[in-house]
Protein backbone atom coordinates (compact mmCIF):
# COMPACT_ATOMS: atom_id res chain seq x y z
CA UNK A 1 0.00 0.00 0.00
CA UNK A 2 2.82 2.35 0.88
CA UNK A 3 4.65 1.70 -2.40
CA UNK A 4 1.48 2.51 -4.33
CA UNK A 5 1.17 5.92 -2.61
CA UNK A 6 4.85 6.57 -3.21
CA UNK A 7 4.48 5.72 -6.89
CA UNK A 8 1.49 8.05 -7.24
CA UNK A 9 3.31 10.90 -5.50
CA UNK A 10 6.37 10.40 -7.71
CA UNK A 11 4.21 10.35 -10.82
CA UNK A 12 2.46 13.57 -9.82
CA UNK A 13 5.77 15.28 -9.02
CA UNK A 14 7.19 14.18 -12.38
CA UNK A 15 4.18 15.60 -14.19
CA UNK A 16 4.36 18.81 -12.18
CA UNK A 17 8.03 19.40 -13.00
CA UNK A 18 7.90 18.32 -16.65
CA UNK A 19 4.84 20.35 -17.73
CA UNK A 20 6.59 23.77 -17.86
CA UNK A 21 9.44 22.33 -19.92
CA UNK A 22 7.05 20.80 -22.41
CA UNK A 23 5.04 24.00 -22.74
CA UNK A 24 7.99 26.40 -22.57
CA UNK A 25 8.04 27.54 -26.18
CA UNK A 26 5.18 26.49 -28.40
CA UNK A 27 4.33 27.65 -31.89
CA UNK A 28 1.33 27.86 -34.11
CA UNK A 29 1.54 27.80 -37.87
CA UNK A 30 -0.18 30.75 -39.49
CA UNK A 31 -0.86 31.81 -43.03
CA UNK A 32 -0.62 28.36 -44.59
CA UNK A 33 -3.18 28.98 -47.34
CA UNK A 34 -1.97 29.54 -50.89
CA UNK A 35 -0.29 32.89 -50.57
CA UNK A 36 1.00 34.94 -53.48
CA UNK A 37 4.65 34.44 -54.31
CA UNK A 38 7.15 36.86 -52.81
CA UNK A 39 10.49 37.83 -54.29
CA UNK A 40 13.36 37.90 -51.80
CA UNK A 41 16.92 39.11 -52.39
CA UNK A 42 19.54 38.33 -49.77
CA UNK A 43 22.60 36.34 -48.75
CA UNK A 44 22.31 32.57 -48.29
CA UNK A 45 23.69 31.37 -44.94
CA UNK A 46 23.87 28.10 -43.06
CA UNK A 47 23.49 28.65 -39.30
CA UNK A 48 23.62 26.28 -36.36
CA UNK A 49 25.36 22.96 -36.09
CA UNK A 50 24.40 19.47 -37.08
CA UNK A 51 21.76 18.10 -36.64
CA UNK A 52 19.95 21.39 -35.93
CA UNK A 53 21.32 23.54 -38.76
CA UNK A 54 19.10 25.89 -40.75
CA UNK A 55 19.52 27.44 -44.19
CA UNK A 56 18.57 31.12 -44.27
CA UNK A 57 18.33 34.00 -46.69
CA UNK A 58 19.29 37.13 -44.76
CA UNK A 59 17.88 40.47 -45.87
CA UNK A 60 17.90 43.88 -44.22
CA UNK A 61 14.37 43.39 -42.89
CA UNK A 62 14.41 39.77 -41.68
CA UNK A 63 15.80 36.28 -41.97
CA UNK A 64 13.88 33.85 -44.15
CA UNK A 65 14.26 30.17 -43.20
CA UNK A 66 14.27 27.78 -46.14
CA UNK A 67 11.84 24.88 -45.88
CA UNK A 68 13.63 21.54 -45.28
CA UNK A 69 12.49 20.09 -48.62
CA UNK A 70 13.94 23.09 -50.50
CA UNK A 71 17.44 23.11 -48.99
CA UNK A 72 19.02 21.23 -51.88
CA UNK A 73 18.22 24.06 -54.31
CA UNK A 74 20.21 26.62 -52.30
CA UNK A 75 22.83 24.62 -50.41
CA UNK A 76 25.52 25.18 -53.07
CA UNK A 77 24.84 28.95 -53.08
CA UNK A 78 26.02 29.66 -49.53
CA UNK A 79 27.65 33.08 -49.00
CA UNK A 80 26.23 34.34 -52.30
CA UNK A 81 23.52 36.90 -52.88
CA UNK A 82 20.49 35.43 -54.62
CA UNK A 83 17.02 36.49 -55.65
CA UNK A 84 14.35 33.83 -55.20
CA UNK A 85 10.64 33.66 -55.83
CA UNK A 86 8.76 31.55 -53.28
CA UNK A 87 5.68 31.22 -51.14
CA UNK A 88 6.01 32.50 -47.59
CA UNK A 89 4.56 31.16 -44.38
CA UNK A 90 5.37 31.81 -40.75
CA UNK A 91 5.12 30.47 -37.23
CA UNK A 92 3.99 32.63 -34.35
CA UNK A 93 5.94 31.54 -31.28
CA UNK A 94 4.73 31.94 -27.71
CA UNK A 95 6.32 31.58 -24.28
CA UNK A 96 4.73 29.26 -21.71
CA UNK A 97 2.85 32.17 -20.13
CA UNK A 98 1.18 33.02 -23.46
CA UNK A 99 3.23 36.11 -24.30
CA UNK A 100 4.40 36.37 -27.90
CA UNK A 101 7.98 35.24 -28.52
CA UNK A 102 8.24 36.50 -32.11
CA UNK A 103 7.59 35.23 -35.57
CA UNK A 104 9.74 32.94 -37.72
CA UNK A 105 9.35 33.32 -41.50
CA UNK A 106 9.82 30.44 -43.96
CA UNK A 107 9.97 30.07 -47.74
CA UNK A 108 8.66 27.07 -49.69
CA UNK A 109 8.34 26.31 -53.42
CA UNK A 110 11.57 28.20 -54.03
CA UNK A 111 12.66 29.16 -57.55
CA UNK A 112 16.06 30.82 -58.01
CA UNK A 113 15.65 33.90 -60.20
CA UNK A 114 19.12 35.49 -60.07
CA UNK A 115 22.53 34.66 -58.59
CA UNK A 116 25.02 37.45 -57.86
CA UNK A 117 28.76 37.23 -57.07
Q: Which tens digits make up the pLDDT trace of 31-88?
A: 445 667 899 999 999 999 878 899 999 999 999 999 888 898 999 999 999 999 999 9
pLDDT given at position 26: 55
Domain extents for the chain? 24-116
* Contact (Cβ atoms closer than 8 angstroms) between residue 84 and residue 59: no
Report H helices in 34-112: 71-74
CATH for 24-116 is 2.40.50
- pLDDT reading at 27 higher than 80: no
Amino acid sequence: MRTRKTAIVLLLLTLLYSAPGILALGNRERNTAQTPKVEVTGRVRLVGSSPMSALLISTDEREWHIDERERGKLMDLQHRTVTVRAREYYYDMFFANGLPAGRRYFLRNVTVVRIEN
